[in-house]
Amino acid sequence: MVLWSQPGCSAGNTCCSGICTKRPQSGSWYLSIGQPRVGDEDFAAGFDAALAEKCFRFVNNNDVVTQNPLPGLVFKYAHVGQKLYIDSNGILRSTIPWWKKLWDQWNGMELR
């Protein structure tokens, strides 16, 4: 079973955590595209402790939704799951240094 959350659907996290923890044998995965930060740091830590290996968060190089709400403000929202970065060439990366990400975002702003 594959669970999918539409962009910005933080309710998907709640559903996923319920299904994947109550039925770990189901082989469920949670995939999201363009998801903002959800929950506070405690929620994110609990979610990742139970589901980090089953939750993948796809981030497009210039998607502003994935950068909101800004970290460290009043509510201290946090991301959950493993980040998979889609660069300006469409290549999927599990990690990218900050300076390459900055350069990639610049390249991604090119008007075609």
Domain spans in the chain, listed from the N-terminal domain onward: 2-108
Instruction: Tell me what the mean pLDDT of segment 33-50 comes to.
Output: 85
Tens of pLDDT, residue by residue over 43-56, are 889 888 888 888 88
SS3 for 64-78, per residue? CHHHCCCCCCCCCEE
CA–CA separation, 45 and 36 (whole Å): 16
Highest mean pLDDT among 13-27, 63-77, 78-92: 78-92
Q: Tell me the fold of 2-108.
A: Rossmann fold (3.40.50)
Supply the pLDDT for residue 64.
83
Separation of first and last alpha carbons in the chain: 38
Mark out the alpha helices in the chain (DSSP H runs).
11-22, 41-51, 98-108
Supply the pLDDT for residue 29.
77
Tens of pLDDT, residue by residue over 73-111, are 677 888 888 999 999 889 999 998 989 988 988 887 765
